[in-house]
Structure 1
Amino acid sequence: MTSIMVLLFLYIILDVNYFIRCAFTLLMVHLNQDKQAITETTSIYGICTPQDADIFLRHMNNARYLRELNFASIHYYVVTDVFKFVRERGGSIVQSAVMLRYRRYLPILHPYKVETKLIWWDEKSMYFEQQFISVCTGFVHAVALSKHQFIDFNVFDLLSSYPDIANRPEIPDDLRLWLEANDVSSKKLYTDGSLEHENFYDCRASI
């Protein structure tokens, strides 16, 4: 009974399933996957369970897509050793912006994969395209652009240590326009003396 009460208490105060999924993601990387190059597209697999579904139990609810992007990002950083490299040098990584476009809903019990690909970078951040792809049909159900900002760490220094990185590609048009929109939004909210001005890092887009 005590164990049940402890477990119930943990489920009340913590998102226990989130931590279980994180641990499972890390375990699968260590047990089943070889390391991948930082420029390779990485993939994790999932299925739309009733826990992921909307109120009508028909398809994945919008919030769950963002949750899955988080697991895909964790997987990418571990399988490429980027997280280990950054942590050893005293840096850290935060997701500072994401744009998610839904194309077609993922039905309940439908298997899918999330592909993560590095598409551009600057001194402070790495930018990814992440796609939700049906395992059954290959259709791209949703696509996201994600900005991951590095704290106390220079991205160019990181990438210079990877031999598979040649030159930085041209910034994709959709990413460029999105960053410009982020910058406009940030300037609307930015005022002298504001909390954003005093923050220890700045998530505003810079290109």
Structure 2
Amino acid sequence: MVECATITVLIAFFVVTIITYWLLEFHYFMRILFCYLHSRFVKKKLDILDTSMYSSVCLTTDIDILLFHMNNARYLREVDFARTDFYNRTGLWQKIREKGGLVYQGGTSIRYRRFIRLFSLYHITSRIVYWDQNSIYMEHRFITKRDNFVRAIVYGKQKVIKCNVEEVITELMKTPATKKATEVRQKPECPSEIRLWIESTNVSSNKLRENVV
């Protein structure tokens, strides 16, 4: 009876695992959870204008049909982990939630420069390059460790609702996590590539509005 019960439990566990993987990309959610816990409770804190670094490796689950380099779509998924790391280590996520706000992805621009080959070690640097009242603009660089070459650059626009981004980041700049409180930090000028990207998205939005019947 004990053996039958054990076999039944194992079969049930196996079936539930298969169904879970079929319905959800289970390892993605587990990585997000691990990244959240590791960045929140293990890795050192960063100031809001610092650059974070998230390390990873190109595995067989990341490659495309050519079977030797990272799938283009995987870059954006990896940015999810890097962004989670940055938001937690700088306290940005906690500050936004403290004010009752929410964040969602408003746009992404990516430039691929060279392949990230199978089993290559790389890291993603993340930093805020600009912000306004409603959005945060971030830059993510994929850099291979063996040659320190920037393989891809991603710009992301995170829309923040129900709170003012200017207030959130100003408060975080006034309460530095690592630097001396007397250090003067200012809002950076909008980089030319971000300014042109904003103009491009505005043109696209206007055209879409014109086509609405």
Aligned to 1:26: 36
Counterpart of 1:135 (choices 133, 141, 145) is 145
Aligned to 1:157: 167
Aligned to 1:39: 49
Counterpart of 1:88 (choices 84, 87, 98) is 98
Q: Which has the larger radius of gyration?
A: 2
* Large movers: runs of 4+ above 3 Å: 191-194
Determine the C-alpha separation between the residues in 2 that align with 1:193 and 1:50: 43
Question: What do the CA deviations read for 1:142-167 (whole angstroms, capped 9, x no partner)?
Answer: 00111111011101110221225733
Secondary structure at 2:188 match in 1: coil
**Does 1:181 pair with 2:200?**
yes
Determine the C-alpha separation between the residues in 1 that align with 2:130 and 2:202: 17
Counterpart of 1:166 (choices 185, 191, 197) is 185
Determine the C-alpha separation between the residues in 2 that align with 1:54 and 1:17: 18
The two structures have a TM-score, normalised by structure 2, of: 0.87
Determine the C-alpha separation between the residues in 2 that align with 1:156 and 1:27: 27
Question: What do the CA deviations read for 1:97-146 (whole angstroms, capped 9, x no partner)?
Answer: 01000000100000000100111110101111110000111000000111
Counterpart of 1:114 (choices 105, 113, 124) is 124
List gaps (5 residues or longer) in structure 1: 195-207
Percent sequence identity over matched residues? 34
Determine the C-alpha separation between the residues in 2 that align with 1:160 and 1:39: 11
List gaps (5 residues or longer) in structure 2: 1-10, 177-183
Q: Which residue identity is paired with 2:108?
A: V
Counterpart of 1:68 (choices 69, 73, 78) is 78
Question: What do the CA deviations read for 1:49-94 (whole angstroms, capped 9, x no partner)?
Answer: 0000011210000000010111111111111111111112211011
Q: Which residue identity is paired with 2:87?
A: Y
Q: Which residue identity is paired with 2:146?
A: C
Determine the C-alpha separation between the residues in 2 that align with 1:159 and 1:85: 9
Q: Which residue identity is paired with 2:131?
A: W
